[in-house]
Structure 1
Amino acid sequence: MALRVHLLACAFGLGSWVAVNGLWVELPLIVNALPEGWELPSYLTVLIQMANLGPLLITLMHKARPGRLNERAVILALLSVGVLSCVLLTFFWDRTSVVAGAPRSTAFFVITFFLSLVDCTSSVTFLPFMMALPATYVTTYYIGEGLSGFVPGVVALAQGVGMAKCVNATQGTGGNHTSGHDGFLQTEYLPPNFSTEVFFFFLTAMMCVSLAAFVALSRLRLPPAENPAGGSGASVGPGLDNPAAEIDGRDLKRRDEEGGRARRPPAEPNDSRYRLTFIYFLVVWVNGATNGVLPSVQTYSCMPYGNLAYHLSAALASVANPLACTVAMFFQNRSLLFLGALALLGTAFGSYNMAMAAMSPCPLLQGSVAGEVVIVVSWLLFTGTLSYVKVMVGVILRDRSHSALVWCGAAAQAGSLVGSVVMFPLVNVLTLFKAGDFCNTKCPL
């Protein structure tokens, strides 16, 4: 039973961000087919942040009518929309229409918005639903959430997304492209091993797996030893309606008035409030860095070192997330001092990555093996350390109450939003970061 629930929790978490993560890793192929070109990532960022309307509405409903939201129905609707959107994306992603006299990827934008709505809203619905399960399964859910970025990345690597080589400008396309002088190199992207449609079909399958896992979890009946509600064989779902899903002061008071044995908890001391404030600060900071700030500049920090460094940093960073979640299953340190220090360490690695992006196209150690190793390891440790912090603050808040998990998801989305909003004008308006061409950029020694 325990192994089965772990597998279901992991598969459920897989659907949290698999669609949006899949779009990001497939971008090197998508931009070559859609009219927006390399401006497409900035549009994608805006669409994802607009989709934060979903978690905002869920959080406001939870605040206004606590305990009244049918969480299971919301999650079922979200996953169903995610599956349908992936199917539509498979067939219509490259359809364009003329807007203001220019071709635009309207179908891609509309479908992407709904996929982003599903993934963003998962932050305030999927995790609180896991409140109905013992804490150990929450960590497994985080592993699945980490795999939602890792699995599409592995498939994209197998597809050969964005792999390129440096060729003489007079070669490549049958000698038709020429330059005015000898020795000029250009970047030639290699054809993928399978099409973008096949990749999107894979995303559809992953969403179907998550939907099936959620249905199975909703119908699961835990043995009394593992049931947080303490009843005999009580059902896990539906989330907010589960007796174990809302253990806060208001619920305790209601049960006390009904003659139950629960009693109102004592007033929260000030030091506890300070600790809670610090925990939510960590949530905002970590998610702002990992979901908003650093992803905006990853290409600038890695591409000057070559395609191999870029793909290794992306792939290993994706591995670091589920790996950190796995470590958190066996090594749990809830000390806020330790988590704060670990967040500072991760921020230091992120600062190095940001500095290399700012120095692009000529970052430190550019053109050397040492530079490639350092940037890949820095991205690996940046993602791994902050992922561990993210998991542990989720576990801490899970033990506190269902409301704490809802606000945890809201804080995570707020941090991601702030990070993206700050970086968008810096990257796309002020153009403070310069792209590096590994084949032709010559940096001074």
Structure 2
Amino acid sequence: MFLADCVQHVAVAAFGMGSWLSVNAVYVQLPLLIYIVPEGWNLATYIVLLVQIACIAPLIYGILDILMECISNKTWKRYNQMVLIPIMLVLSGFGLLMAAFTYDQPVVIDNAKHSYWLFVAILIMSIPCTTADVLFLPYITKLENFKYVTTFFIGMGLSALLPSTVSLIQGASANLNGTVPNAWGSTEGSVLFGPRSYLVIMVALTFVSLLEIAVSFDLSDRLEDTRRNEKCQLFKLLEFTRFENFCPNIYFWSTLLTVMMNPIFCFLQFCIAFKNTCFFIIWASVSFALVAFAFTMALVGKVDGLAPVLLVVFGLSSGLISWERTAIAQILRQTSTARGLFWCGAFTQIGSFIGALTMFVLTEVVGIFRKQ
């Protein structure tokens, strides 16, 4: 029994890992991609914009799911997640594979080079990522142990930690002084292997996640539906989007520290479970204060001497937000049906959309942040 439970926790973590693996993998590869793509560091902004465009996918799924529930479509209720989740993971892997072979193939549009095919690949892989909050998360209610919710969020943290770890081994933080990195092999400047090799490795990790979801499906099919149908208070807390490191010189290390904090803080939910609403309000206030500090430092512009402080702020704020989201989702899993986790994921994605859109306007339209 203990061994089976451990296997299931590993399967759920690997399943969660596939949720945002693809987009996170491209993000942590930016320090190398900027030497290749014509957009340079602006590629990060385009990624954010493409991810938000992909938010139409969870919106369509949400509307369809609500309509099917209204007409009591039992076939949809039983099989939609079993069919759509593997399809989403395949899409994620396909997007990564497409990015691996098109990132260095720009297209000339209006006498200017653009990474058109890379943008298409990012859009494809963004669809599973944005849909994960409303598709993957409610599926966890089919698993008997409510602690699988925490395991799932640990897996989501791994979707950023593992790409960052591989990137660290790769040497993506190396200063190439304008040298274009090789696609497959090593590059002078301590880069062990190229972006193409890195992205292919990420495809393999996505395939692992696809295999592990089969284990979760097998267990969920054996469980009887004994869920309580009682109403609960739905915590509609909007997700704070991470202020993704405005200074290129600390980009890599702040990203690495941030993604390390996510699974660590999520794991703390196994040890310390908070349920008090007042505590959640205080928690959110502290997280907001940390994010506001990072935002202020970005406005000031001169942050070289505060780089270590900013690293801690980025990591701590991301960790606290991840822990709070995990705690809220676990409460909803204990006191509600799959619909509760659906709305938890929906409001998380809505908050992410609002935050990302706001940052896009501030950086690209208003231009309030000064170049370093």
- TM-score of the aligned structures, taking structure 2 as reference length: 0.89
Per the alignment, residue 182 of structure 2 pairs with none
User: Offset at 1:46?
Assistant: 1.1
Task: Return the alpha-carbon distance in structure 2 between the equivalents of residues 93 and 381 of structure 1.
Answer: 33
Residue of 313, 317, 325 corresponding to 2:254: 313
Contact 2:332–2:341 under 8 Å retained in 1 = yes
Per the alignment, residue 387 of structure 1 pairs with 322
Give the letter aligned to residue 158 of structure 2: L
Structure 2 residue 298 is the aligned partner of structure 1 residue 357: yes
Indicate the SS of the match to 1:16.
helix
Indicate the SS of the match to 1:103.
strand
Task: Return the alpha-carbon distance in structure 2 between the equivalents of residues 153 and 435 of structure 1.
Answer: 25
Per the alignment, residue 378 of structure 1 pairs with 313
Kindly provide the CA deviation profile for residues 246-300 of structure 1, in whole angstroms up to 9, marking residues without a partner as x: x54xxxxxxxxxxxxxxxx5xx6xxx6xx53xx11x2x1xx2333xxx12xx123
Contact 1:14–1:147 under 8 Å retained in 2 = yes
User: Offset at 1:316?
Assistant: 1.5
Contact 2:37–2:104 under 8 Å retained in 1 = yes
Give the letter aligned to residue 299 of structure 1: F
Task: Return the alpha-carbon distance in structure 2 between the equivalents of residues 53 and 151 of structure 1.
Answer: 28
Per the alignment, residue 396 of structure 1 pairs with 331
Structure 2 residue 31 is the aligned partner of structure 1 residue 44: no
User: Offset at 1:425?
Assistant: 1.4
Task: Return the alpha-carbon distance in structure 2 between the equivalents of residues 411 and 393 of structure 1.
Answer: 12
Q: Give identity over the alignment, percent.
A: 28
User: Offset at 1:386?
Assistant: 1.1
User: Offset at 1:97?
Assistant: 2.2
Structure 2 residue 130 is the aligned partner of structure 1 residue 120: yes
Residue of 357, 360, 368 corresponding to 1:421: 357
Residue of 34, 38, 60 corresponding to 2:37: 34
Per the alignment, residue 345 of structure 1 pairs with 286
Contact 2:8–2:215 under 8 Å retained in 1 = no
Residue of 344, 365, 369 corresponding to 1:433: 369
Indicate the SS of the match to 1:58.
helix
Q: Does 26-35 or 13-22 show the bigger shift?
A: 26-35
User: Offset at 1:124?
Assistant: 0.8
Unaligned segments of structure 2, at least 5 residues: 180-187
User: Offset at 1:102?
Assistant: 2.5
Structure 2 residue 201 is the aligned partner of structure 1 residue 202: yes
Per the alignment, residue 410 of structure 1 pairs with 346
User: Offset at 1:373?
Assistant: 2.8
Structure 2 residue 100 is the aligned partner of structure 1 residue 148: no
User: Offset at 1:244?
Assistant: 5.1
Contact 1:11–1:209 under 8 Å retained in 2 = yes
Contact 2:22–2:93 under 8 Å retained in 1 = no
User: Offset at 1:83?
Assistant: 1.9
Contact 1:83–1:208 under 8 Å retained in 2 = yes
Residues 82/289 of structure 1: CA separation in 2 closer, same or farther (3 Å cut): closer
Indicate the SS of the match to 1:433.
coil
Contact 2:31–2:252 under 8 Å retained in 1 = no
Per the alignment, residue 441 of structure 1 pairs with none
Residue of 306, 329, 335 corresponding to 2:276: 335
Give the letter aligned to residue 97 of structure 1: V
Kindly provide the CA deviation profile for residues 53-98 of structure 1, in whole angstroms up to 9, marking residues without a partner as x: 1110111112111164311101111111122222222222222222
Give the aligned length. 352
Give the letter aligned to residue 210 of structure 2: L
Contact 2:19–2:132 under 8 Å retained in 1 = yes
Give the letter aligned to residue 225 of structure 2: P
Task: Return the alpha-carbon distance in structure 1 between the equivalents of residues 197 and 348 of structure 2.
Answer: 32
Indicate the SS of the match to 1:94.
coil
Contact 1:132–1:244 under 8 Å retained in 2 = no
Q: Larger radius of gyration, structure 1 or 2?
A: 1
Contact 1:288–1:418 under 8 Å retained in 2 = no
Per the alignment, residue 241 of structure 2 pairs with 289
Task: Return the alpha-carbon distance in structure 2 between the equivalents of residues 350 and 91 of structure 1.
Answer: 36
Kindly provide the CA deviation profile for residues 200-247 of structure 1, in whole angstroms up to 9, marking residues without a partner as x: 0111011101100111211126xxxxxxxxxxxx525xxxxx7357x5
Contact 1:288–1:415 under 8 Å retained in 2 = yes
Residues 312/28 of structure 1: CA separation in 2 closer, same or farther (3 Å cut): closer
Whichever structure has more helix as a proportion of its residues is 2
Indicate the SS of the match to 1:34.
coil
Task: Return the alpha-carbon distance in structure 2 between the equivalents of residues 311 and 105 of structure 1.
Answer: 22
Unaligned segments of structure 1, at least 5 residues: 174-188, 222-233, 237-241, 249-264, 437-445
Per the alignment, residue 261 of structure 1 pairs with none
Task: Return the alpha-carbon distance in structure 2 between the equivalents of residues 334 and 19 of structure 1.
Answer: 33
Per the alignment, residue 103 of structure 1 pairs with 113
Task: Return the alpha-carbon distance in structure 1 between the equivalents of residues 307 and 107 of structure 2.
Answer: 42
Contact 1:36–1:104 under 8 Å retained in 2 = yes
User: Offset at 1:191?
Assistant: 5.4
Per the alignment, residue 8 of structure 2 pairs with 5
Indicate the SS of the match to 2:225.
coil
Task: Return the alpha-carbon distance in structure 2 between the equivalents of residues 95 and 243 of structure 1.
Answer: 51
Q: Which has the higher contact order (CA 8 A, sep 6+)?
A: 2
Per the alignment, residue 251 of structure 1 pairs with none
Per the alignment, residue 183 of structure 2 pairs with none
Task: Return the alpha-carbon distance in structure 2 between the equivalents of residues 214 and 336 of structure 1.
Answer: 33
Task: Return the alpha-carbon distance in structure 1 between the equivalents of residues 41 and 308 of structure 2.
Answer: 27
CA RMSD, Structure 1 to Structure 2 (Å): 2.1
